[in-house]
């Protein structure tokens, strides 16, 4: 896997994910996200606009990152979920566990409010 595509905006690191977040990619992505957190990035925004599939191992990326960020008083937000990805969050009843926004701009504004 190539390095995660990211963009720093103020104190928020936007992480752009794409493709199929399945068992093949999820472990590598989870490790890369952990490295970002270990480097001091505690406000993460995942842009999921280009994610076409999300498996249970893909969900684990966000759950593991959120647990780690909570310990550090950080925040994790999700933006631009496609309808198929949003449906997966609803089916496994995790939709209320995450801060989910329709756009990156909305999510970025929510960081500033807190």
* Residues 80-108: tens digit of each pLDDT: 999 999 999 999 998 899 999 999 999 99
3 state DSSP class of 99? strand
Distance CA 61, CA 11 (A): 21
Can you give the pLDDT at residue 1?
Answer: 53
Q: Which domains does the chain have, with CATH numbers?
A: 5-113 (3.30.750.24)
Distance CA 23, CA 101 (A): 25
pTM, 2 dp: 0.94
Going by C-alpha positions, the residue among 51, 8, 9, 114 that lies closest to residue 62 is: 51
Distances (CA, A) of 104 to 5, 23, 54, 58, 99: 15, 26, 19, 20, 12
């Amino acid at each position: 896997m190539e390095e995660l595509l990211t963009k720093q905006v103020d104190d928020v690191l936007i992480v752009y994910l794409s493709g199929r977040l399945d068992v093949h990619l999820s472990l590598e992505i989870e490790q890369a996200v952990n490295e970002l957190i270990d480097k001091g990035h505690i406000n993460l925004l995942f842009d999921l606009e280009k994610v076409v599939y999300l498996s249970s191992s893909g969900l684990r990326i966000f759950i593991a990152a959120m647990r780690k960020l909570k310990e550090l008083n950080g925040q994790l937000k999700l933006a631009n979920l496609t309808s198929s990805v949003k449906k997966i969050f609803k089916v496994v009843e995790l939709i209320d566990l995450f801060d989910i926004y329709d756009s990156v701009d909305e999510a970025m504004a929510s960081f500033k409010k807190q």
